[in-house]
Every structure is written in structure tokens, then in C-alpha cells.
């Protein structure tokens, strides 16, 4: 597996100099963050990002994410314009030599948490999703913003978009996702790009909005309906694992050969729809990441894996969930497990 690290560009407090010093680190997961959702990513800007990363002896091995325009998710008449732009971005990424693209199909809001700095018993802090707190949040108030979100919809149009979603069922949203995939996967096949849909985080409806990349049944349906190697999955342990009813080894088996990217994160459940992120160590959270990595290894997965959200430890400040120290510890934990699996 290719050990990789999320980097938010030159404004990220975590620098490429930091990342290149983590033993075993070879890949960078990044994106272009100043282009509105739906617009074409210029080839020159992709190359600027790639060359900055390669200057530090690292490889831009995953783009996370190329945002999907809301008109596509809602199935509006304008969707084909935005899909055409998406195809052009894929062609430009391929031309630049970037061959794995992570994306999501979550309506309006990306990954969601209720608190950014909840304390853990050891004195560190991490991201938390408390279902009762989420119920009290008005999504139109502007108080809900998280690291990495595309904020281009946090405008006066937000109410109009949310209102429109009230008539969109999970079945309709799924059909819109399949339509999108039927359009872009032929281009991905031509360009040799592996598309890896990220599961909804958390994997259930929030704010009355439908979500469909949530469990083994839905993943199997998505992969079956557009049956191409280039239509695959980002297997995120923390997203799927936030729901105690999700069987992580079962999802790996269902998506065997179609998992193109892995996010490794641990969470501790404290209610049916509530959890707090912990260290990656099996035993600290409710998920056994070593067992998950063993299953991925047995399934033949050899692609990019990155330590996902980490705690904020040792007084570090910066982007919640994306500090350097705990994610570096997470990378070393993952490397230790993989070394054991590779040398049995």
C-alpha cells in the first residue's frame, strides 16, 4: 500500500517539509481549492500543484476531491453542462499523470461534526458528532463550517438548494449518481483514471437531506449498476464505521477489486448516531483497524492509504482533525501493521 498524507496546499500549517520526514511516506493527497465547484480545473494549475509536491520527493497520487456540482446531484436540466466540465477536468488530470480521483455525492454538506475540539480522557482533543447537538443546529445559520468544505454554497442560495432537496428522495439521489457515473466513467476508462466515491460521513441523513453511499447494499448497487474497474470506492473506515450496523470486512468483500483508495480513521461510539474520533490504535476506539488492514491486505488492495482525521495533541494548533503530530503517529501505526502483514 502507498502511505499517503492529506495536504491542503501552501496555506496548510502542515508543510511538505514536515510530511517528507514521516518514514515510509510516499504520496500526497491534495486538490485545487480556489476553483468553484463545477468549473474546469486548468492543466497548468494541476501541474503547479504536482511540481510543488514532486520538488519534495513526493508523488501527487490522489486528488481529493473534484467536487460534484449540486445541479448534478439534484438532477437539474443544467447538469450536463457541469458534467461536461467534470469530464474536461478528468482529461486534464490524466494529462498531468494523476490517475486516482476521490469524490463524494453528499448533498450540500460534506463530512459533518458537531464539535471540533472535544476533549478525550488523555487530554487531547478531536472531532465529535453528537446527534443531539446536530439536531439543534440550524444549517442556514452559517455556524456550521468544517475544514476542507467547499464553501461556495454558503450563500443566499443555500436555502433555495435545501428547499429543492426536500422533494428529492434517496431513490432519486441514487438515480442521479448513477446517471453521473454513466456519463463520466467512459471518460475515466479512456484516460485510465480510477474514480473512488467517498462514503457519506456520517452515513445517514442529516438536516433532512438524503444520503446514499452509506452501507454495503448501496455500495454493491453502485458498483454493479456501472460495472467498470474505473468505478470504485474510497473505503473510509471512519465514515462507514460511524454506524455500528456497518460490517467493515463485509463492505471490503463486496467491493473487492474496486477499492481504489483507503482512509484509515478510528471512532468511538457513544450512541447509535454519535461518535468521537480517537487515535488510530485498535483498542482506543470502537474499530479494530489492524483487522481492517488485514482484510484489505488479503483482498489484494495495494493502492493509496492515508491516516485520516487525527487528534490535536501536544498543544498543536491548526486545522482541526488535520494536525501533523497525531496523523504522523497514525501513519507509523499503519506502517507497523502493514510491515507485519507483508513479512509474515
Helix (H, G, I), strand (E, B) or coil at 95: helix
Query: What is the sign, positive or negative, of the torsion defined by CA atoms of 60, 305, 213, 276?
Result: negative
Catalytic residue among 12, 150, 165, 236: 236
Q: Are 70 and 37 in contact (CB under 8 A)?
A: yes
pTM of the model: 0.94
Q: Please confirm, yes or no, whether 103 is among the known catalytic residues.
A: no
Q: Cβ contacts of residue 317 below 8 Å, gap of 6+?
A: 13
pLDDT-based confidence at residue 282 (cuts at 50, 70, 90): confident
Q: Are 292 and 253 in contact (CB under 8 A)?
A: no
Q: What is the mean pLDDT of residues 6-24?
A: 96
Q: What is the mean pLDDT of residues 172-190?
A: 98
- All three cell numbers of 117, joined, read 475540539
pLDDT at 147 (0 to 100): 55
Cα 337–Cα 341–Cα 343 angle in degrees, nearest 5: 115
The domains of the chain are located at: 2-342
**What's the chain's average pLDDT?**
93
pLDDT at 158 (0 to 100): 76
Q: What is the mean pLDDT of residues 265-272?
A: 93
Q: Which CATH architecture has domain 2-342?
A: Alpha-Beta Barrel (3.20)
Q: Please confirm, yes or no, whether 263 is among the known catalytic residues.
A: yes
Question: Using CA atoms, how far apart are residues 306 and 5, in angstroms rounded to an integer?
Answer: 5
Which residues, in sequence order, are bridge partners of residue 231?
Answer: 195
Q: Please confirm, yes or no, whether 308 is among the known catalytic residues.
A: yes
Catalytic residue among 12, 110, 201, 308: 308
Q: Please confirm, yes or no, whether 325 is among the known catalytic residues.
A: no
Q: Are 139 and 236 in contact (CB under 8 A)?
A: no
Give the range among 165-169, 197-201, 326-330 with minimum mean pLDDT: 165-169
Q: Please confirm, yes or no, whether 102 is among the known catalytic residues.
A: no
Catalytic residue among 260, 273, 280, 309: 309
Q: Please confirm, yes or no, whether 236 is among the known catalytic residues.
A: yes
Q: Is the confidence at residue 329, as pLDDT, over 70?
A: yes
pLDDT-based confidence at residue 160 (cuts at 50, 70, 90): confident
Question: Using CA atoms, how far apart are residues 333 and 338, in angstroms rounded to an integer?
Answer: 9
Amino acid at each position: 500500500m502507498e502511505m499517503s498524507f492529506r495536504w491542503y496546499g501552501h496555506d496548510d500549517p502542515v508543510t511538505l517539509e514536515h510530511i517528507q520526514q514521516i518514514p515510509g511516506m510516499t504520496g500526497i493527497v491534495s486538490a485545487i481549492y480556489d476553483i468553484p465547484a463545477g468549473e474546469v480545473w486548468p492543466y497548468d494549475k494541476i501541474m503547479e500543484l504536482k511540481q510543488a509536491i514532486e520538488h519534495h520527493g513526493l508523488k501527487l497520487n490522489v486528488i481529493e476531491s473534484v467536487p460534484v456540482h449540486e445541479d448534478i446531484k439534484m438532477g437539474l436540466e443544467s447538469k450536463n453542462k457541469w458534467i461536461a466540465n467534470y469530464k474536461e477536468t478528468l482529461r486534464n488530470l490524466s494529462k498531468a499523470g494523476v490517475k486516482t480521483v476521490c469524490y463524494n455525492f453528499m448533498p450540500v454538506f460534506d463530512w459533518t461534526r458537531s464539535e471540533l475540539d472535544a476533549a478525550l480522557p488523555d487530554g487531547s482533543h478531536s472531532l465529535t458528532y453528537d446527534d443531539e447537538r446536530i439536531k439543534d443546529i440550524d444549517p442556514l445559520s452559517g455556524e456550521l463550517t468544517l475544514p476542507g468544505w467547499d464553501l461556495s454554497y454558503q450563500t443566499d442560495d443555500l436555502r433555495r438548494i435545501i428547499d429543492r432537496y426536500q422533494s428529492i428522495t434517496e431513490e432519486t439521489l441514487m438515480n442521479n449518481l448513477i446517471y453521473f457515473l454513466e456519463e463520466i466513467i467512459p471518460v475515466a476508462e479512456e484516460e485510465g483514471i480510477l474514480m473512488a466515491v467517498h462514503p457519506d460521513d456520517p452515513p445517514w441523513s442529516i438536516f433532512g437531506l438524503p444520503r446514499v453511499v452509506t452501507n454495503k447494499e448501496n455500495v454493491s448497487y453502485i458498483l454493479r449498476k456501472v460495472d467498470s474497474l474505473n468505478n470504485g470506492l474510497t473505503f473510509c473506515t471512519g465514515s462507514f464505521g460511524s454506524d455500528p450496523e456497518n460490517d467493515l470486512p463485509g463492505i471490503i468483500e463486496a467491493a473487492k477489486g474496486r477499492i481504489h483508495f483507503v482512509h484509515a480513521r478510528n471512532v468511538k461510539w457513544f450512541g447509535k448516531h454519535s461518535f468521537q474520533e480517537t487515535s488510530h490504535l485498535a483498542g482506543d476506539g470502537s474499530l479494530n483497524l489492524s483487522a481492517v488492514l488485514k482484510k484489505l491486505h488479503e483482498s489484494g488492495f495495494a493502492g493509496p492509504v492515508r491516516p485520516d482525521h487525527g487528534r490535536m495533541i501536544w498543544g498543536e494548533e491548526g486545522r482541526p482533525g488535520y494536525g501533523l503530530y497525531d496523523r504522523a503517529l497514525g501513519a507509523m501505526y499503519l506502517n507497523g501493521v502493514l510491515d507485519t502483514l507483508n513479512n509474515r
